[in-house]
Amino acid sequence: MRCVELVVGCNEASDLLPVRSPDILAAYGWRRAFWTVLDEGPVERCLALLGLRHGEERWDAHVIAADAGDQTGRTEDGEALAYHDGWVYVIGSHFGSKRGPLRPRRGFVARFREADAALAHPVPVQVVRNQFRLHRAVNDALRSLDTLPPHEVVHHRFIAETLTRGAARAKGWVERITHGDVPMNIEAAAFTPDGTLLLGLRFPVTVAGEPIVVAVAGVDAMFTDPPAWPTVVGAYVLAGVTPAGALSGFRALSARGDGSYDAVIGSIDATGKESVLLDAHPTGGDVPCRHIRFAVPPSTDPADPAPRIAAEVVAELAPFRNVEGVAESDGLVHYVTDEDHRVALWTTT
C-alpha cells in the first residue's frame, strides 16, 4: 500500500467518507476526495476534506469552516460519518473518557448539505443532542443478543457514576439510564438504501467477542421541529471474523455500491491509555485490525433472538491496530489511521 501523511488541524482523523458532490471536486480541482472528522473538538471545528489533485499524485487537506448555531461548542468526539440523500451525517461516540463516566456532549448526531461545502462559508451544520435517548434504545435492543455483561468496574465508572452526576445536577436524562446498562461506543456508521442507519459498535461486543451492528430508523426525523426520536429496528452479530480468544469491535464502516458493507474491526479500546474497558477485558486490546465485508439481510425472523450475519475477512491489516476508516473509490481501497497530530492515508496498489 501507498501512504501519504497530511496535517489536518491538530487532531487525529476518524472515518473516511467519499465525496459525492461534483461541485466540491470542481471547486478544489480534485479528481477524488474524502470527508473525515477530527475527533477531539466540537463538530463545527472538526470537519475536513482530503482531496487528490487532477493530474498529480498529490493530496490536499482542508479543515472546513462550519457553524453549528446555538449548539456551537456543545459537542465533542465525532467518530463516524455517513451519507444519505445529499446530507453528510456526523455521529458522536455516545461514550465517555477512557475511565468514564459517559459524557452527554458525545451523544449527538449532526448533519450538513454536502454541496454547501463548495458554496457556503461557513457551512451550516444542524446538531441534535439526544440526551441518552439513543443509549436507551440501543441498550433495550441489545437484550436480545448474548452481549458481554457489564464488568463491575466498567458498570460503576460508566453507568453508576453517570447516574450519580446527573442526579446531583437534576438532569432529566437520568431516567434514560438504568443500572445494568452497558456503555456503548459508536465508532462506525453507514446508511442502507432505504435510509436506515447502521451503527457499528466498538463496545459492547458479544460474550464470544464478536462485533455488533445496530440498525436505527428515523434518524432524519431528529431534525424536525419538534424532533421525533429514532427507533432501533435490528441488532446483528457479525460471525466468523473475530480472532480466536480476542474481543473485536467496529473501527469503521462504509456502504458499497452492490448493497454490501466494508468494515474494519479491531480492539475495543486503545492500549496504553489507562482504559477501564481493557483493565476489565484485556483480550480486547492487542488486536490487529481486519478489513471485513458483510451484507444485512432484508428481513429477519422475529423468533430469532440473536440474528447472526456471516461476514468474510477481506484483508488482514496487521500490524495496524489504529485503522479508523475504510472507503473504496475508483476501484481502490483507502484506509485512514489514527496518528498523533497527523493523518495517514493508505491506498491499495
Q: Which residue has the cell 467518507?
A: 17
Buried b (16+ CB within 10 A) or exposed e, 305-320: eebbbebeebbebeeb
Q: What is the 3-state secondary structure (H, E, C) of 238-273?
A: EECCCCCCCCCEEEEEEECCCCCEEEEEECCCCCCC
Q: pLDDT by residue (tens digit) across 235-289?
A: 999 999 999 999 999 999 999 999 999 999 999 999 988 999 999 999 999 999 9
Helix (H) or strand (E) holding 142: helix 133-142
In sequence order, what are the residues at sequence separation of 6 or more whose Cβ sits closer than 8 angstroms to the Cβ of residue 41? 11, 76
Confidence of residue 25 (pLDDT cuts 50, 70, 90): very high
54 pLDDT exceeds 70? yes
Mean pLDDT, rounded, for 110-125: 93
Cβ contact 128:111 at 8 Å: no
Identify the CATH number of the domain defined by range 72-322: 2.120.10
Q: Which residue has better confidence, 213 or 298?
A: 213
Of the given ranges (13-17, 87-91, 158-162, 198-202), which has the lowest mean pLDDT?
Answer: 13-17
Q: How many CA atoms lie within 13 A of 200 on its CB side?
A: 35
Cα 213 from chain centre:
11
Q: pLDDT by residue (tens digit) across 135-191?
A: 999 999 999 899 999 899 999 999 999 999 999 999 999 999 999 999 999 999 999
Mean pLDDT, rounded, for 200-210: 98
13 pLDDT exceeds 90? no
**pLDDT of res. 183:** 98
Average pLDDT, the chain: 94
Amino acid at 310: A
Q: Which residue has the cell 438504501?
A: 193
Mean pLDDT, rounded, for 91-105: 96
Cα(285)–Cα(93) distance, integer angstroms = 18
Q: pLDDT by residue (tens digit) across 285-332?
A: 999 999 999 999 876 554 555 689 999 999 999 999 999 999 999 899
67 pLDDT exceeds 60? yes
From the CB of residue 28, how many other CB atoms can be counted at a distance below 10 Å? 18
Dihedral over alpha carbons 263, 269, 271, 275 (to 10 degrees): 180
Confidence of residue 83 (pLDDT cuts 50, 70, 90): very high
Percent of the chain with pLDDT over 70: 97
Domain boundaries along the sequence of the chain = 72-322
